[in-house]
Amino acid sequence: MTASGPNSAVALRKLFKEFGTGDAKITALADVDLDLPYGELVLLVGPSGCGKTTLISIVAGLLDATRGEVDVLGENLTKMRGGRKVRFRGTNIGFVFQQYNLLPALTAVENACVPLLIAGWNRSKAVAKAAALLTEVGLGSRLHSYPNQLSGGQQQRVAIARSLVHEPRLLVCDEPTAALDAASGRVVMELIRKVAVQPDRAVIVVTHDSRVYDFGDRIVQMADGRIESVEIPKVNLVSSD
Amino acid sequence: MNWVAFKMLTGDKTKYFGIVFGVSFAALLMAQQSAIFCGLMRNTTSQIRDIQGGDLWVMDRNVQFVDDTKPMSENALYRVRGVEGVRWAVRLYKGMGRARLGDGNFQQVILIGVDDATLTGAPAMEQDRLVHGRLEDLRQPDAVIMDEFGWRYLWPGQAFDPNNLKTIEMNDKRARVVGLAKCNPTFQTFPILYCTYSQAVKYVPQERKTLTFILAKANDGVTPEALCDRIHSQTGFRALTDEQFFWATIGYYLKRTGIPINFGITVALGFFVGCAIAGQTFYLFTIENLKQFGSLKAMGVSNIRLMQMIMLQALVVGTIGYGIGIGGAALFGYVFERIVTNAPPAFYFPWQIMAITAVAVFVIITIAATVSMRRVLFLEPAVVFR
């Protein structure tokens, strides 16, 4: 559906995903071809149940496709299994979740350093790097606050810091503004654009929120498990800045 | 990640203390009940441990345990002395007497009559077992030495006064308490009276045979076990070493009383209740953290690492719970022995109880962790997007 080539962070070919068998079989993705380039923020939009979440789950290596080819960051995920896939996720992919999914027992800075701990970093070094990133996202004064002491927007900023602290090459965001008011949602999207979009990194954002469409370099519209269209907005916030 | 696991565990104090409480309760119940059981069983053998001096006990062939007295004729002593390898053999009377106290009340007592000449079997001074009086005082007319618990039970709050000796009557004969001895607590909890053999047989209603046990010593170069076999084969009497008699007595109580079953049920209840409380709380704790575990899984934590994290959490609560439970059981025993001073305590806390409780606690937390782990291991990491 878009230009493919060595610049594609994600390349999907003839992708199918089915759940269940027989009469209960549900086709969540059907014949999906998609290329997502580095250095862009791609919005994945569409109605509920259209397959957005299934698609990013497969791209992030959390789900296996039923058929088709999945190339992410130059690696063929279709053939990747077990521990290798887990390590691939840990090293290359950052996640931002709709409900933030911060560990309530950890402070902001402790939450933000978790991916580094997973990678085997020393705790003090990991905390130092996470603290620097949290300061960059405007939470320098809330490093030691627990999630329940932070607003929704602040929690999402912690989640963004956590998703980027280990410098992944692909950032996957699932409805990052869904639980936020309009102003906070905008702040979060601005932050993702500012700190996450890099020439060697791709960002995929699943959203229902039409208010944030302006932030996308590319908008992939889905319906019924298929790609309906891929649009490049004439003016986005980056070019308007 | 161990640090993250620990923080996850202790983050919610209520749940954390709930799991620790479950394990502590199980450990306390198992250890405390086992200690009481061991104490009771040990108390059944207190006379075997108290009556020292000989290598072996000789008794009627049908005697099953130390309180099962079946008197033998006086000839038995000479027959035992005649067995090759016996250095010496002396009489011992052990039976129950009925004491009439100064206030007219009656009290059952355990009466032990030791050899008149050697006083073999009496509480020895060299073992610091005599609290008041001297062993030789037993040779005085009507002299008896009582155990401390018995004294406290019969005359609570009264100190022993050598110038004003307490007297009791047994079988219409006077007995003067000339000394106090430390004795191991008994199963029956009756006061223990030591006196000479000739005195003891006067304190009980007359019987044709009065010799209940013979204490014997083996010659150098002869093992007590071998001598036991020899005595048995030559005389037909049952002969046992201290250790053999100890275990024979415990074996009898284990087989012929409901004590082990009842205590076993309580210990098993402690185990299952502990499993249920700790398992359920730990399971709920894991289920409530399932989304967090899913996030960690998505972020690249392997299943093995997650298992290690859950096992670490289980080990932390297991260790703390075990410590509290064992400490509580030990404290119970310590306080119990100091508060209840006029009754022999039935509380024995050997290292084996701690080891067995540790194994049981480990099993509990392993079960709890395994049940919880299953949900995490089979958790689809894509759940984080739902």
Q: Are the beta carbons of A62 and B385 separated by less than 8 Å?
A: yes
Q: Which residues in chain B are contacts of A87 at CB distance < 8 A?
A: 300
Q: Which residues in chain B are contacts of A106 at CB distance < 8 A?
A: 4, 7-8, 11
Nearest 10 degrees: CA dihedral of A173, A175, A180, A185?
A: 60
Closest chain A residue to B386, measured at CA: A53
pLDDT band for position A1 (50/70/90)?
very low
Q: Are the beta carbons of A63 and B384 separated by less than 8 Å?
A: no
- pLDDT for res A241: 42
For residue B269, give Cα distances in angstroms to A226, B29, B32, B35, B43. Answer: 59, 8, 13, 15, 24
Closest chain B residue to A102, measured at CA: B292
Q: Which residue has the higher pLDDT, A57 or B379?
A: A57
Contacts of A120 (CB under 8 A, 6+ apart): none
Q: Which residues in chain B are contacts of A89 at CB distance < 8 A?
A: 298-300
| Residue segments in chain B with a per-residue pLDDT below the cut of 70 | 125-127, 341-345, 386
- pLDDT for res B341: 66
CB atoms within 10 A of CB B351: 7
Q: Are the beta carbons of A95 and B295 separated by less than 8 Å?
A: yes
Give the closest of A53, A87, A93 to B385, CB-based. Answer: A53
- pLDDT for res B77: 94
CA gap B386, A28 in Å, rounded: 14
Question: Nearest CA of chain B to the CA of A203: how many Å?
Answer: 16
Question: Nearest CA of chain B to the CA of A102: how many Å?
Answer: 7
Q: Are the beta carbons of B298 and A91 separated by less than 8 Å?
A: no
Question: Nearest CA of chain A to the CA of B23: how many Å?
Answer: 22
Calculate mean pLDDT across residues A210-226: 87
- pLDDT for res A240: 41
**Mean pLDDT taken over chain A:** 85
- pLDDT for res B43: 87
pLDDT band for position A239 (50/70/90)?
very low
Count Cα neighbours of B50 within 13 Å in the Cβ-side half-sphere.
26
- pLDDT value at A41 more than 80: yes
- pLDDT for res B263: 79
Contact between B144 and B136 (Cβ < 8 Å): no
pTM as predicted: 0.76
Q: Strand A226-231 to strand B143-147: parallel, antiparallel, or no bridges (unpaired)?
A: unpaired
Contacts of A127 (CB under 8 A, 6+ apart): A109, A110, A113
In A, what residues contact B, Cβ < 8 A? 53, 56-57, 60, 62-63, 83, 86-87, 89-91, 93, 95, 97-99, 101, 103-106, 110, 114-115, 117-119, 123, 174
- pLDDT value at A139 more than 90: no
- pLDDT for res B180: 93
Interface contacts (A, B; CB < 8 Å)? 81
CA gap B71, B208 in Å, rounded: 9
Closest chain A residue to B5, measured at CA: A105
For CA atoms A65, A70, A73, A74, the dihedral sign is positive
Question: Nearest CA of chain B to the CA of A241: how many Å?
Answer: 32
What is the DSSP secondary structure assignment for residue B68, as one 8-state letter?
-
CB atoms within 10 A of CB B359: 10
Token pair 């006061």 is found at B191
Contacts of A209 (CB under 8 A, 6+ apart): A175, A177, A178, A185
CB atoms within 10 A of CB B374: 12
- pLDDT for res B18: 85
Q: Are the beta carbons of B385 and A89 separated by less than 8 Å?
A: no
In B, what residues contact A, Cβ < 8 A? 1, 3-4, 7-12, 291-292, 294-302, 380-382, 384-386
Q: Which residues in chain A are contacts of B299 at CB distance < 8 A?
A: 89-90, 95, 114-115, 118
Give the closest of A86, A95, A103 to B292, CB-based. Answer: A103
